[in-house]
Structure 1
Amino acid sequence: MSKVALITGGQQGIGLGIARELAGAGYKLALASRSEDDAPQVQAALAELGDAAIYIRHDLQDIDNVALVLDQVEARLGPVTTFVSNAGVPAKVRGDMLELAPDSFDFVLGVNLRGAFFLAQEVARRMLKAPSDSYRSIVFVTSVSASMASIERAEYCISKAGAGMMAELFALRLAPHGIGVFELRPGIIETEMTAGVKDKYTARIEGGLVPAQRWGQPVDIGSVVVPLAEGRFAFANGAVIPVDGGLSLARL
């Protein structure tokens, strides 16, 4: 049976880093995001990954079409053996949480939590309907913000804390069926999303914020996903893994 990975947000940043590592491990890849098919980052990712990858346009807020996404993947590549729930959005505007507007709250939770849940739900249903001899897994890429509070982006932190519980719930539900579920919590990763705050965080990293004393890279996340997807941590089902260079370690 082919190893097939569906990666949301796989066309750039952390998602592309994960895609590269899974492609190197022999996976066929379905990248999904709300970007247009002809968007430069989509075309660049497909050109780099070659025949190993396809692209499917999907907005996580569109929960009515999750079955269609899986239908397309199955028709073109086969059943999904690894689902990486990676796509997410930041707070629309950083600022005082007491001034947080409902539309920003709803947008962030609509993508990071509601949309992610219902796509994972459909993946899990199909995994259960079609038992396989191959190891199967779901990996939720959340954030250190699941447990580290940032009052200037409350909606993002709330969404990631909820996503952490979502991963735990899926782990409990699917463990009896041999399907591994894991949560990765990246720290400060150098991607398009963090480009606007690079100078600010570079200074803080150099000042000791991150014990590893460097920015994280997408490959740091991808290199952790591969052994999880392949079943090398099968009995660690439900594990929460910080990939943050020590950022979230408690310190005096």
Structure 2
Amino acid sequence: MNERPVALVTGARRGIGRAIALELASAGFDIAITDIAASAELDDARDAVTTRGARCAVQLSDLADIAQHDSLFGAIEERLGPVTCLVNNAGVSVMSRGDLLDVSPESYDRCLQVNTRGTFFLMQAFGRRIARTTAAPGANYPPSIITITSSNAVAASVQRGEYCVSKAGLSMATTLFSLRLADFGVGVYEVQPGFIETEMTAPSKARYDVQMEHGLTAIKRWGTPQEVASAVRTLATGGLPYSIGQPIRIDGGLLVHKY
């Protein structure tokens, strides 16, 4: 019988998700990684996980299609064992930045369907599975849900309002599940990254470099995916056993009130 706990990391083909998958593999987890479509990047992420001594299952999954969620957990359980740690990393940004008065219903619905609705029901499916068990699945670490939101769950970015709305809703969903699942021994946490240097944020780098130098962040540099992954490892391995629900900010002091 496999003694290793199992982590599901959604949207793990690159960037923050990939870094989290690798870090949890190093922490002793077997890893399931998802993305919406097959790709060389996804295969490369799988191969990188296995070099850490972990088993890795790749599952194609559309987070917005909530009818797939139960079968996703079932497929992972058949290959690796029951999921013990759910890391909600997958998400989408706006179709295009622009005037709040010009936000399209298509862009708004896409953000809400994936970032908020899809993740909410994935947490629900995981929570139901935990509630049906008589003991926590896996070994070594208590079960957990770790949701990657954004500093935009708190800080308004008017040029991508629909993204902010989706992340604010997801932040509240995480708080709600932290309360509902506490009696089952599930630690539910929110991680709020700030400016993290990834392929997705590259187009904005030059603009924010200047603002950081003028005090936008207390630590005057971009964060790295590894720094987010290190925080997730702490949470997934039970490093904050008497904390639930509070956002953990990996943002270089971006959201600290200052004047």
TM score, norm. by length of structure 1: 0.96
- TM-aligned CA deviation for residue 216 of structure 1: 0.6
- TM-aligned CA deviation for residue 127 of structure 1: 1.3
State the 4+ residue runs in structure 1 displaced beyond 6 angstroms: none
Greater shift, 204-213 or 71-80, is seen at: 204-213
Q: Which residue of 1 aligns with 2:227?
A: 220
Greater shift, 112-121 or 127-136, is seen at: 127-136
Letter in 1 for 2:159: E
Q: Which residue of 2 aligns with 1:76?
A: 79
Match status 1:163 vs 2:170: yes
Equivalent residue for 2:89, pick from 62, 86, 96: 86
Structure 2: runs of 5+ lacking an equivalent: none
Contact 2:32 2:57 in 1 (8 A): yes
Q: Which residue of 2 aligns with 1:55?
A: 58
Q: Which residue of 2 aligns with 1:132?
A: 136
- TM-aligned CA deviation for residue 35 of structure 1: 2.4
CA deviation map 1:63-120 (0-9, x unaligned): 1111111011100010111000111111111011111111110011110001111111
Q: Which residue of 1 aligns with 2:121?
A: 118
Q: Which residue of 2 aligns with 1:41?
A: 41
- TM-aligned CA deviation for residue 195 of structure 1: 1.6
Letter in 2 for 1:187: G
Letter in 2 for 1:158: V
TM score, norm. by length of structure 2: 0.93
Q: Which residue of 2 aligns with 1:173?
A: 180
Query: Take 2:154 and 2:94, find their aligned partners in 1: how far apart are those partners?
Result: 16
Greater shift, 204-213 or 168-177, is seen at: 204-213
| Corresponding pairs, count | 250
Letter in 1 for 2:172: M
Greater shift, 129-138 or 217-226, is seen at: 129-138
Letter in 2 for 1:20: L
Aligned ranges 1:226-237 → 2 under 5 Å:
226-237=233-244
- TM-aligned CA deviation for residue 239 of structure 1: 2.0
Structure 1: runs of 5+ lacking an equivalent: none
Aligned ranges 1:184-203 → 2 under 5 Å:
184-203=191-210
Contact 2:192 2:249 in 1 (8 A): yes
Match status 1:182 vs 2:201: no
- TM-aligned CA deviation for residue 201 of structure 1: 1.8
Query: Take 2:46 and 2:174, find their aligned partners in 1: how far apart are those partners?
Result: 29
Please report the RMSD computed on the Cα atoms of aligned residues, expressed in angstroms: 1.2
Q: Which has the higher helix share?
A: 1
